[in-house]
Copies of this chain bind each other. A is one copy, B any other.
Amino acid sequence: MIFSMNKKFNTMTPSGFPEFTPAEEKVRQEWISVISGTFSKYGFQPITTPLVEREENLLGKGGNPKEIYALKRVMDDDGDTSHSGNTLRFDHTVPLALYVARHQNELSFPFKRYAIGPVFRGERAQKGRFRQFDQCDIDVVGMENLSVQNDAMMPAIIIEIFQQLLPKNDFIVRINNRKIFSQLATETVGVPAILAAVDDLEKIGAEKVSEALMAAGLNKDEAKNVLEFVAITGTNDEILAGLEKIEGKPEFLEGVDELKMVTQSLRDMGVEEKCFKIDLTIARGLDYYTGTVYETNLIGYERLGSICSGGRYEDLASVFTKKKMPGVGISIGLTRLLSQMFDANIVEIGKSSHLDVLFIPADEVATGKCMELAQNLRNSGKKVDVYLEKKKLAKKFDYADKIGVEYVVVIGENELNDGVVQIKNMVTGEKENVKNSKVLGYFS
């Protein structure tokens, strides 16, 4: 299929499929490096599953058929149906469930894996909503059982990651346990309705919330209980003490115990107390999570919503295997987070160059010497390039300016004859002649 040159091509990226600038991409790579490095330090290993999964598996784990992309060849004319039913993953959780289901006999449990890579959702394209975006997930998956101390690893890891990525900004990991909500729900009024009512507490005050709760179906005492419950605030110890005063149902007591153990384990690990906080109003994804839940907020930028969330679930792979596999995990929506950060100028986009040193041959005859010395520097681990195009010297320096490299090494015919190079610091403008044999030492 040949198109004529006259056809106008739209070279922009398709709607919903974002692309970062080179400077932004550099930040993205640095973040991925910090995130994967920290995941590794905590004993998680990288698993890369295909981007494509069987349609029935994605739908079987609750995927939305209006958002899942199926693959179809542009021209399908040879009766080969082996491509149908291939769909793009919409998260890392279903691929993990499939992975542990098919490898359950080879894996060691608890199995700790991380996954960093793109997922796809065929949503309507709009600002901040992408059709392809990177997620960074960790999960610990147990076989039959999984101790609650694993739940403490998640905030510890989140905190270590964001302390590295956002040293200038405060953030807080908010922790709750879904089991304690069992105390509040009644046969007719579920947890979501209660949370919806208390969500506006700060704005509208206790009385109005009480009215809303009764409108939802609670009686006066029940509404009072809810208000007493969410009035439990303060330090982590104060909240735990407040919860312990409540004569609760067994599930509630279990939730309080788990919250206490998670807090204790975080302290055992020496995690800074100011970085995590028990918050009884957190209740994400109630249909999926069954115990500890997490949200993370950037202080001063709460409007960004939670920048890293997750929780404990009862059974990862239930539709794919009869084995019960409880787990706990978190996910960082990297693309969305970074694009918000860039928009809000929270993350500094470094001016730093992709190069440490640029060699410029001032005369063509010096090209070989430039390539030789550049290679020596590369062998010492530096990022080095040689400007090889035939341009005027001023143009070559324009290039150096534009790529933001700090050091330029110039060799012309004179330098070549004298066995020296001229090193220019592009920031200070200082120039210095250095012997060929001393160039390696100069940059080490």
Give the nearest-CB partner of A7 in chain B: B60
Among A306-314, A367-375, A427-435, which stretch is in contact with chain B? A367-375
A17 touches B102 (CB 8 A): no
For the complex, give the distance between the alpha carbons of A6 and B50 in Å: 26
Q: Which of A309-360 contact B (CB under 8 A)?
A: 318-321, 354-355, 358
B378 touches A41 (CB 8 A): yes
B69 touches A132 (CB 8 A): no
Least Cβ distance of A62 to chain B in Å? Answer: 8
Give the contacting residue for A11; candidates B3, B102, B374; CB below 8 A.
Answer: B102
Which chain B positions have C-beta within 8 A of A369?
A: 268
A371 touches B87 (CB 8 A): no
Which chain B positions have C-beta within 8 A of A13?
A: 49-50, 53
Among A72-80, A179-187, A207-215, A284-292, which stretch is in contact with chain B? A72-80
B378 touches A10 (CB 8 A): no
Say yes or no: is A443 at the interface (Cβ < 8 Å to chain B): no
Give the nearest-CB partner of A2 in chain B: B62
A3 touches B86 (CB 8 A): no
Give the contacting residue for A78; candidates B9, B66, B381; CB below 8 A.
Answer: B66
Say yes or no: is A248 at the interface (Cβ < 8 Å to chain B): no
Write the A363-391 contact mask toward B (1 if CB under 8 angstroms, else 0). Answer: 00001110110111010011111101110
Say yes or no: is A65 at the interface (Cβ < 8 Å to chain B): yes
For the complex, give the distance between the alpha carbons of A55 and B10 in Å: 11
Write the A90-131 contact mask toward B (1 if CB under 8 angstroms, else 0). Answer: 000000001101100011101010000010101011000001
Which chain B positions have C-beta within 8 A of A10?
A: 54, 56-57
Say yes or no: is A28 at the interface (Cβ < 8 Å to chain B): yes
Which chain B positions have C-beta within 8 A of A28?
A: 48
Say yes or no: is A20 at the interface (Cβ < 8 Å to chain B): yes
Write the A414-429 contact mask toward B (1 if CB under 8 angstroms, else 0). Answer: 0000000000000000
Give the contacting residue for A371; candidates B11, B44, B66, B268; CB below 8 A.
Answer: B268
Least Cβ distance of A160 to chain B in Å? Answer: 8
Q: A11-B98, A48-B20, A71-B122 are in contact. Are A268 and B43 (CB under 8 A)?
A: no
Q: Which of A212-268 contact B (CB under 8 A)?
A: 264-265, 268
Least Cβ distance of A288 to chain B in Å? Answer: 14
Residue from A42, A85, A142, A399 whose CB has the most chain B CB atoms within 10 Å: A42
Other A-B pairs, 12, CB within 8 Å; known A3-B60, A83-B122, A152-B371: A9-B54, A11-B320, A14-B52, A17-B51, A22-B47, A40-B383, A41-B378, A41-B384, A70-B71, A71-B88, A108-B403, A145-B389
- Listed from nearest, the 9 A-B pairs whose CB atoms lie closest are A43-B385, A17-B50, A65-B75, A45-B354, A65-B74, A268-B368, A268-B371, A269-B375, A69-B71
Q: A residues engaging B (CB < 8 A)?
A: 1-3, 5, 7, 9-22, 25-26, 28-29, 40-57, 59-60, 62, 65-78, 80, 82-83, 85-88, 98-99, 101-102, 106-108, 110, 112, 118, 120, 122, 124-125, 131-132, 142, 145-147, 149-150, 152, 156, 264-265, 268-270, 318-321, 354-355, 358, 367-369, 371-372, 374-376, 378, 381-386, 388-390, 399, 402-403
